[in-house]
Chain A
């Protein structure tokens, strides 16, 4: 009997010990476009050495997991303790308010305040997290293909039509399958749509019906997919709002002009290497302006965490100026830290193409439209993006006309607004 009691007591102690070990765990859901997962792991290893009581677990997942599975976990009151997310505003009710938990809230307000509203519920002053990087959509041209075809790369103020014409000429001359590609993403589609004068936001701050500006570019875009100027593989290859990128086609030298964004720079620098020359081109111009779309991924704390103090400690560490500096310099990401931006960065790369590309993106921030800057903090942005992707794909696949696609986009968005009960 005594032996049984001893065994039971040992089991209970073991169980308690394992539970107390879990008390210090901080789980981060993280996705990577390039090398940032490795850099973060390195930074977190150092954090854990400095803070032996906190065990940070880094879950590297695909972007689609963050887009599709994290929201379900959050709605169920579950999920990781920290997550790297792009759909920041629409899920802001799930973010933890770090204001009372961080060491110096004023530091956060001062340095990350400009984008704080992108990730907080409307009307609050919550500190939800910080942007791991600021991104900007824009184009990339395969310079080697242009040179070999003897076609001049269109200049800074070139229009979408100029790019389509030049890229098609190069593709034909060099026998590559794709002249242009634009990621299967509503965010990517929005930059050019805005450059044709579109306005998504109605007078009541809810989604407005598609206007002429939107229709002008979308009609052009659907036509380009149909005639093969724009990659069919990206846009008709999936149903619904599933994300598809064309980065691999560009890296493999199969694509002349790729419209994506600044986050591809480290990816291209690493994977293209010296295979061919490439340049960032900023955003082509529409009839109204030459805007791209700002954005980025935010690292946010989740309010369902069991260890808020530990989470705040990890967030404080990752938001530290020297850590943000090292993260940005090693990943080639543009930081959101105001103080750091003022001091400047020394990106850790010998790749002159990557450095030049980053400069192009920095200078392109000057041509952002007012609406483009507003959309990342607008609740309905993703609703708009999802509807556009689904219906434009169907029109491009020949299932419906462009006009039918426009009516469906309006109907889809209206249904979503009604469903939300807002």
Chain B
């Protein structure tokens, strides 16, 4: 098709849009006259706010209402009001350091496990993502290919990720097959508390690091090259250039990555549920699984207790988000100085 043909097609494609703009022009002008610029902004925000309200705010309030009720029924009006009893039950502990002293010992086990998971996984994830981004930012052979390789696991469903690694790590899995072929005794990695915990960290890093690497890579590419050239001319060593140029200029991206990784780590569930099921024992039982099992899988389930636990988890996530906002602001202020 020639140039004129393409332009004709483009015009035809734009016709509905032009028509729509023509129809909406008069009412929108009237609306702007009647409400002003701010009113117009509110008007355009309204549909999004309605969706946010129905699918985020409303469930949050319903969940909070559930946390104040007891019983096994799922339908809210069928449940009895128990006030803060569910929260009291979660906090009924001899010592918060020892989950075994708590009435809801598995909740505190899940809190402890999640805490350790967050500390270790977030630290390692940021380190690994940063190192990978720094390497991928260099002039490598087949650089695009390597970038795709590291990003590929992000495209996989978490359930698929869990299954793949289960097939690798289980008793008759690929890893043991390799070990056996090399003359070593097979080992059941997923039956060992420490290995199982380490596996959940490793697998989650493998599955998600590509996304964070991409964010950091974008940040690295935005740093002007002439800064490095000037530093090189001044005889600055690469390590010093990293600490004095790369890291400060990468900080906004790094901050976003830290918060995203933190929130994702607190919410860890799907791939771990498939990989270890929370075992061995409760060594990889994390908060989201506790909430799921208490509210949905247990016989008899307790939606009120699950809702209370999820509100507490939500509170932690709010704190993390506020931390992000606070750090973001101080970063901006620092930038203006």
Taken residue by residue from 279 to 296, chain B's Cβ proximity to chain A (1 for < 8 Å, 0 otherwise) reads as 111111100010001001
Q: Are A240 and B297 in contact (CB under 8 A)?
A: yes
A72 and B306 alpha carbons, distance in the complex (Å): 14
* A68 and B297 within 8 A (CB): yes
Assess the A76–B74 pair: CB atoms within 8 A.
yes
Find chain A residues with CB under 8 A from B204 CB.
none
A contact residues around B281 at 8 Å (CB) = 236, 239, 393-394, 396-399
- B277 interfacial by beta-carbon distance below 8 Å: yes
Residue of B with least CB distance to A379: B300
Complex CA–CA separation, A164 to B9 (angstroms): 79
- Using a CB-CB cutoff of 8 Å, which residues 296-314 of chain B contact chain A? 296-302, 305
Q: Is the CB of A75 within 8 A of B74?
A: yes
Residue contact B276 to A237, C-beta cutoff 8 Å: yes
From 228 to 255 in chain A, residues with beta carbon under 8 angstroms from any chain B beta carbon are 232-233, 236-242, 244, 252, 254
- Per-residue B-contact encoding for A370-409, CB less than 8 Å = 1, 0 else: 0000000000001101100010011011111000100010
- Write out the residue numbers on chain B whose beta carbons fall within 8 Å of the beta carbon of A366: none
A-facing mask of B50-75, CB < 8 A → 1, else 0?
00000000000000000000111111
A419–B297 CB distance below 8 A = no
The reply to whether A420 and B72 contact each other, CB–CB distance below 8 Å, is yes
Interface centre among A75, A238, A242, A408 (most CB of B within 10 A): A238
The answer to whether A386 and B276 touch (CB under 8 A), given A75-B73, A233-B171, A236-B281, is: no
Indicate whether A167 reaches chain B with its CB closer than 8 angstroms: no
Residues of chain A lying within 8 A (CB to CB) of residue B270: none
C-alpha spacing A87/B301, complex, angstroms:
13
Given A233-B171, A419-B70, the answer on whether A242 and B302 have CB atoms closer than 8 Å is no
Expressed in whole angstroms, the minimum distance between the Cβ of B65 and any Cβ of chain A is 16
Looking across the interface, which residue of chain B has its beta carbon closest to that of A67? B297
Q: Is A90 an interface residue (CB 8 A)?
A: yes
- Picked from A232, A236, A239, A393, the residue with its CB within 8 Å of the CB of B289 is A239
Total count of chain A residues near the partner, CB < 8 A = 43
Is the C-beta of B264 less than 8 angstroms from some C-beta in chain A? Answer: no
- Interface status of B191 (Cβ within 8 A of chain A): yes
CA distance A4 to B215 in the complex (A): 51
The CA of A244 and the CA of B297, in the complex, are separated in Å by 14
Which of A77, A240, A242, A386: most chain B CB closer than 10 A? A240
- A233 adjacent to B191 (CB under 8 Å): yes
- In the complex, whether A416 has a CB less than 8 A from a CB of chain B is yes
A-contacting residues, B255-288, CB 8 Å: 276-285
Which residues of the partner chain B approach A209 to less than 8 Å between Cβ atoms? none
* Chain A residues positioned under 8 Å from B284 (CB to CB): 239
Q: Which residues of chain B are within 8 angstroms of A400 by Cβ–Cβ distance?
A: 100
Q: Which one of A76, A252, A408, A419 contacts B72 once the chains associate, using CB atoms below 8 Å?
A: A419
For the complex, is A37 an interface residue (Cβ under 8 Å from B)? no
Within 8 A of A (CB), among B101-130: 103, 105-106
A223 on interface, CB distance cutoff 8 Å: no
Q: Is A421 an interface residue (CB 8 A)?
A: yes
Whether A77 and B299, one on each chain, are in contact in the complex, defined by CB atoms closer than 8 angstroms, is no
For A69, list chain B residues within 8 Å (CB). 296
Cα-based distance from A403 to B140 in the complex (angstroms): 60
Q: Is A34 an interface residue (CB 8 A)?
A: no
Judge whether B299 and A385 touch: CB under 8 Å: yes
Residues of chain B contacted by A252 (CB below 8 angstroms): 172
Complex Cα spacing A242 to B293, Å: 9
Is residue B90 within 8 Å, beta carbon to beta carbon, of the partner chain? no
Does A154 make an interface contact (CB < 8 A)? no
Residue pair B300, A90 in contact (C-beta under 8 Å): yes
For A385, give the chain B residue with the smallest CB separation: B299
For residue B193, CB closer than 8 A to chain A, the reply is yes
Asked whether A197 is an interface residue with its Cβ less than 8 Å from the other chain, the reply is no
> Any chain A CB within 8 A of the CB of B190?
yes
One digit per residue, 1 when the CB lies within 8 angstroms of any chain A CB and 0 when it does not, for chain B 122-164 equals 0000000000000000000000000000000000000000000
Question: In the complex, which of the residues B106, B280, B289, B299 contacts A382, with contact meaning CB atoms closer than 8 Å?
Answer: B299
Asked if A419 contacts B279 (CB within 8 A), the reply is: no
Smallest CB–CB gap between A176 and chain B, Å?
Answer: 12
Question: Which of chain B's residues has its CB closest to A75's CB?
Answer: B74
Give complex CA distance A84, B31 in Å: 58
- For A237, what are the chain B residues with a Cβ–Cβ distance below 8 Å? 190-191, 276-277, 279-280
**A382 contacts across to B, CB distance below 8 A:** 299-300
In the bound assembly, the distance between CA atoms of A383 and B190 in angstroms comes to 28
Residues of A within 8 A of B188 (CB): 232-233
Residue of B nearest to A71 (CB): B301
Instruction: Write the nearest CB–CB distance from B269 to chain A, whole angstroms.
Output: 12
Are B296 and A236 in contact, CB atoms less than 8 angstroms apart? Answer: no
Whole-angstrom distance between the alpha carbons of A176 and B80 in the complex? 53
30 contacts between A and B (CB under 8 A): A71-B296, A75-B73, A90-B299, A232-B188, A233-B188, A236-B279, A237-B191, A237-B277, A237-B279, A238-B276, A238-B277, A239-B106, A239-B281, A239-B282, A240-B278, A241-B297, A241-B299, A244-B277, A383-B299, A386-B298, A386-B299, A394-B282, A397-B283, A399-B281, A399-B282, A400-B100, A404-B100, A415-B103, A419-B70, A420-B300
B contact residues vs A (CB 8 Å cutoff): 70-75, 80, 100, 103, 105-106, 170-172, 188, 190-191, 193, 276-285, 289, 293, 296-302, 305
